[in-house]
Amino acid sequence: KAGVTQTPRYLIKTRGQQVTLSCSPISGHRSVSWYQQTPGQGLQFLFEYFSETQRNKGNFPGRFSGRQFSNSRSEMNVSTLELGDSALYLCASSLGGLDQPQHFGDGTRLSIL
Amino acid sequence: QQQVKQSPQSLIVQKGGISIINCAYENTAFDYFPWYQQFPGKGPALLIAIRPDVSEKKEGRFTISFNKSAKQFSLHIMDSQPGDSATYFCAAPALRGQLTFGSGTQLTVLP
């Protein structure tokens, strides 16, 4: 069974630009969660989509948004990029219940110049 | 807001030794506690998880212990190997699809 796939693996952008990251979940998983990982803040929850609906959202500004398609693939968008947005962005897929394991992709490394 | 406190921040053990990482939580939406292992350049990989019906779970050299009354859970790595050198994260569910993670423990196993 293929794992979670994230593209691209690396991105370099400049301040003020916007970026879209993609996540393909494990087949059969309807929940996709996004996390930001930085050395200072660790792993922080961005939002979660289940069956094309955003169920939960973390404490991030509105510049961070996402969506999920009918095939469960998800995209995350960050607009008006800031230097502090430099991070590893991870997505995880699961069946969606509280006790269902989340499986992570290898992330997209976003660097803002 | 839910917090998960993880300690120690870093840990160095000799090959063959026991590595112990501890986590404490304030609240959880459900008694399900996974541990993740992360190598440089990779995403976190699910290592082992425990559910509320047991106080201990063992998988190979890895054991989770859970103390509900103390709101604590821990990871024990027996016979630690250099290949176990990685960053370990504990987590607890806050809401469906949302995990709250500990701050991570960087484990180094010396050969």
For residue B56, the model assigns a pLDDT of 92
Alpha carbons A76 and A94: distance in angstroms, whole number: 17
| B84-105 pLDDT, tens digit each | 999 999 999 888 788 999 999 9
Q: Which chain B residues are Cβ-neighbours of A6 within 8 angstroms? A: 43
pLDDT per residue over B26-81, tens digit each? Answer: 877 777 899 999 999 999 999 999 987 788 999 999 999 988 889 899 999 999 99
Share of chain A above pLDDT 70, in %: 99
Q: Do A104 and B44 touch (CB under 8 A)?
A: yes
Q: Is the dihedral of CA B100, B50, B96, B70 positive or negative?
A: negative
Q: Torsion over CA of B93, B28, B36 and B105, rounded to 10 degrees?
A: 140
Which residues share a beta bridge with B76? B20, B63
CB-CB neighbors (< 8 A) of B47 in chain A:
none
State yes or no: pLDDT of B1 exceeds 70.
no
Which of these ranges, A22-36, A46-60, A77-91, B48-62, has the smallest mean pLDDT? Answer: B48-62
| Distance to chain A for B106, nearest Cα, Å | 12
**Out of B32, B89, B96, closest to residue A43 by CB:** B89
> What does the pLDDT read at residue A7?
97
B49: amino acid identity, one letter = A
**What's at B25, amino acid-wise?**
Y
Per residue in A89-98, pLDDT (tens digit) is 999 999 988 7
Task: Point out which residues pair with B91 in neighbouring strands.
Answer: B101
pLDDT in tens, B10-26: 999 999 999 999 999 98
| B51 contacts in chain A (CB < 8 Å) | 99
